[in-house]
């Protein structure tokens, strides 16, 4: 054990020395950039009222005195946003990666297709005979006549067909904008069809695209639906190991959840439910039997984590499996939580073993990536998590922000009581959760949680937000607009820009390497130690490539004759 601890200490020392070196360099770099002044310049293109509003969503960071940022407010019409719709958050993000629930989109085919597999959520049934519906895109494909005469009958017919053809255990129905506007009641249809097919759990979501500011509203609606219709339905989870956890807000993009599963199998801890990468109906139904919940994407799943705590007494803590050091920290957190020396020792052995390959991969990649810069605009937590990997690569994140984050994702959960509840938030059903009369069993007493916090700095039921971990002087931008993106790229020319498919080709045409962090392009997994190694290699390849800089648009290669309009 001593050898392993020493090896690990050396690896941590190596990273620490490197971070110190980077900090000295970064200080000069970021100060020189004066990102705050540039944010003001960017906003000059907007009418003054709009500029004033946008500047509230672009703040210069100070981790010691975290500034307030405007977030989770409606995008100003006319501004090209990165955001998706509420339906996309509910169906595409939270329920979409589940493999044995049939997800029926009640709406036009475009909504269903747009939310189907574009994030590369991978699924793998345990046995070949087990269900895996993810290769199908189920939709009622409503037409003009359904808009005029109503679409409920078509939905019922779709559910009948699905039950007869696939014999599923569960069916989820998702409302899109048009069916919300014509008043189709998916919940009534679900109740009626449940009577017709008593063995099938059928439930609906009022997640019409227009319901919220972004996909974030859809996450909340999905969380409520999971709690009302699935969680707690089955007490019969059979443990393989002594300890069992949930991994919440992990969607198995590029196989991330598979990498996390492998890691927990190595340390000998059960994952009862992953929400919702490669998940099953049974996982949702038995999640309340776990001892501890780890929360990856805070924004999309914190409501479920809270409900599991209130109803069943399962504490949760923020976790991060993106980055080798972050993964090691999360594993240690699990060991400290259970306080079992055998488990703690096993975790240290696994970390030490995994770090050997990690160190080699970092050394190889960092020789080329050190000193390069990145900008990240994705999701709820991804723009935060991936900064860990860039730090390990010696790269500096200059600007970052979320598409659908709330103030607590930026500033930390401490600001939640001060967040104003507006009309958009009121659109989302608030459900009241009480301790389960027979199954509420606090896994740890208040005193035990306080001791763990004191001894190991484990923040239970808390998230400190992205700003705490970003350097002083960096720029934080919520709901980045297309105009702002172009200006930032032209001025600062980052070595890698991370966002989604809507930005990808524009960024590449500007000569900047682009990495999608919603679906990883064709890469991944990027989670856990094996994922970190994949990421180092991919980023080394992308950030050090000169191919994009060689590209010239046709008008840049040819002589152009410039002319001006002459008005008489
Ligand atoms: S905004 Fe409405 S119509 Fe568009 S994809 Fe979302 S649900 Fe469908």
List of domains in the chain: 86-229 (3.40.50.1980)
For residue 207, the ligand 1 atom closest to its alpha carbon is 7
C-alpha dihedral (348, 349, 351, 356), degrees to nearest 10 = 140
For residue 88, the ligand 1 atom closest to its alpha carbon is 6
88 is catalytic: yes
* pLDDT tens readout for residues 530-564: 999 999 999 999 998 888 878 777 777 777 777 88
Strand ranges across the sheet with 496-499: 58-60, 475-477, 396-401, 373-377, 496-499, 514-516
For residue 177, the ligand 1 atom closest to its alpha carbon is 2
Radius of gyration for the chain, computed over Cα atoms and rounded to the nearest angstrom? 24
- Say which of 120, 211, 219, 366 is annotated catalytic: 219
pTM attached to this predicted model: 0.91
Q: Quick check: 248 and 295 in contact, CB under 8 A? A: yes
Tell me the best of 209, 213, 222 to mutate to test the pocket of ligand 1, counting ligand atoms within 8 Å of each CB and taking the most. Answer: 209
**What would the two tokens of residue 469 be?**
């971990």
Q: How far is CA 5 from CA 262, 318, 355, 452, in A?
A: 22, 25, 11, 22
Atom 5 of ligand 1, nearest CA residue: 111
**Which stretches of the chain score pLDDT less than 50?**
1-27
Of 392, 409, 543, 89, give the one whose Cα is nearest residue 400. 409
177 lines ligand 1 (CB under 6 A): yes
Of 416, 240, 259, give the one whose Cα is nearest residue 323. 259
- Say which of 26, 85, 207, 374 is annotated catalytic: 85
211 is catalytic: no
Non-local (6+) Cβ contacts of 288 within 8 A are 231, 232, 235, 308, 311, 312, 314, 436, 439
111 lines ligand 1 (CB under 6 A): yes
Per-residue pLDDT at 9: 36
85 is catalytic: yes
How far apart CA 13 and CA 11 sit, in angstroms, is 5
92 lines ligand 1 (CB under 6 A): no
How far apart CA 523 and CA 365 sit, in angstroms, is 17
Q: Which region holds residue 274: left if phi is over 0, alpha if psi is between -120 and 50, else beta?
A: beta
Q: Quick check: 403 and 275 in contact, CB under 8 A? A: no
Atom 3 of ligand 1, nearest CA residue: 177
Atom 1 of ligand 1, nearest CA residue: 209
Report which DSSP code applies to 97. T
Non-local (6+) Cβ contacts of 448 within 8 A are none
Centre of ligand 1 from the C-alpha of residue 217, in Å: 13
- Say which of 88, 111, 172, 328 is annotated catalytic: 88
219 is catalytic: yes
Centre of ligand 1 from the C-alpha of residue 159, in Å: 21
176 lines ligand 1 (CB under 6 A): yes
Per-residue pLDDT at 15: 42
14 lines ligand 1 (CB under 6 A): no
Centre of ligand 1 from the C-alpha of residue 111, in Å: 6
Centre of ligand 1 from the C-alpha of residue 345, in Å: 50
Per-residue pLDDT at 408: 97
Centre of ligand 1 from the C-alpha of residue 168, in Å: 26
């Amino acid at each position: 054990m001593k050898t392993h601890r020493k090896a690990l200490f050396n690896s941590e020392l190596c990273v620490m020395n490197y971070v110190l070196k980077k900090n000295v360099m970064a200080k000069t770099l970021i100060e020189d950039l004066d990102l705050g002044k540039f944010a003001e310049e960017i906003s000059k293109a907007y009418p003054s009222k709009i500029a004033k509003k946008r500047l509230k969503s672009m703040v210069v960071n100070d981790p010691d005195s975290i500034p307030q940022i405007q977030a989770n407010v409606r995008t100003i019409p006319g501004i090209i946003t990165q955001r998706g719709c509420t339906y996309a958050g509910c169906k595409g993000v939270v329920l979409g990666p589940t493999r044995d629930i049939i997800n029926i989109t009640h709406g036009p085919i475009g909504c269903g297709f747009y939310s189907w597999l574009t994030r590369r959520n991978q699924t793998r049934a345990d046995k070949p005979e087990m269900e895996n519906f993810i290769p199908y895109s189920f939709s009622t494909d409503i037409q003009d006549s359904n808009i005029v005469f109503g679409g409920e009958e078509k939905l019922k017919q779709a559910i009948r067909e699905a039950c007869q053809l696939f014999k599923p255990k569960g069916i989820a129905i998702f409302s899109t904008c048009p069916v919300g506007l014509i008043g189709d009641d998916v919940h009534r249809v679900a109740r009626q069809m449940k009577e017709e097919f008593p063995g099938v759990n059928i439930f609906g979501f009022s997640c019409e695209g227009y319901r919220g500011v972004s996909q974030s509203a859809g996450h909340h609606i999905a969380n409520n639906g999971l709690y009302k219709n699935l969680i707690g339905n089955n007490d019969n989870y059979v443990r393989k190991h002594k300890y069992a956890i949930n991994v919440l807000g992990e969607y198995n993009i590029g196989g991330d959840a598979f990498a996390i599963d492998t890691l927990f199998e190595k340390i000998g801890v059960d994952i009862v439910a992953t929400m919702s990468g490669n998940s099953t109906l049974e996982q949702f139904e038995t999640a309340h039997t776990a001892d501890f919940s780890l929360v990856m994407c805070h924004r999309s799943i914190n409501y479920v984590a809270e409900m599991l705590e209130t109803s069943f007494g399962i504490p949760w803590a923020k976790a991060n499996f993106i980055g080798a050091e972050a993964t090691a920290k999360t594993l240690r957190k699990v060991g400290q939580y259970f306080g079992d020396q055998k488990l703690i020792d096993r975790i240290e052995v696994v970390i030490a073993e995994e770090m050997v390959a990690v160190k080699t991969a970092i050394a190889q990649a960092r020789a080329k990536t050190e000193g390069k810069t990145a900008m990240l605009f994705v999701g709820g937590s991804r723009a935060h998590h991936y900064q860990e990997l860039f730090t390990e690569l010696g790269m500096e994140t200059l600007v970052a922000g979320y598409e659908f984050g709330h103030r607590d994702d930026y500033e930390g959960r401490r600001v939640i009581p001060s967040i104003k509840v507006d009309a958009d938030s009121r659109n989302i059903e608030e459900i009241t959760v009480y301790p389960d009369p027979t199954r509420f069993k606090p896994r740890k007493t208040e005193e035990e949680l306080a001791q763990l916090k004191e001894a190991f700095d484990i923040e239970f039921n808390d998230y400190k937000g992205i700003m705490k971990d970003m350097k002083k002087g960096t720029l934080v931008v919520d709901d980045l607009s297309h105009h702002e993106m172009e200006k930032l790229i032209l001025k600062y020319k980052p070595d890698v820009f991370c966002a989604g498919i809507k930005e990808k080709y524009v960024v590449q045409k500007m000569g900047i390497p682009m990495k999608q962090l919603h679906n990883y392009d064709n890469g991944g997994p990027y989670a856990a130690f094996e994922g970190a190694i994949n990421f180092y290699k991919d980023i080394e390849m992308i950030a050090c490539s000169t191919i994009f800089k060689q590209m010239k648009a046709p008008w840049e290669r040819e002589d152009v004759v410039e002319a001006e309009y002459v008005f008489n």
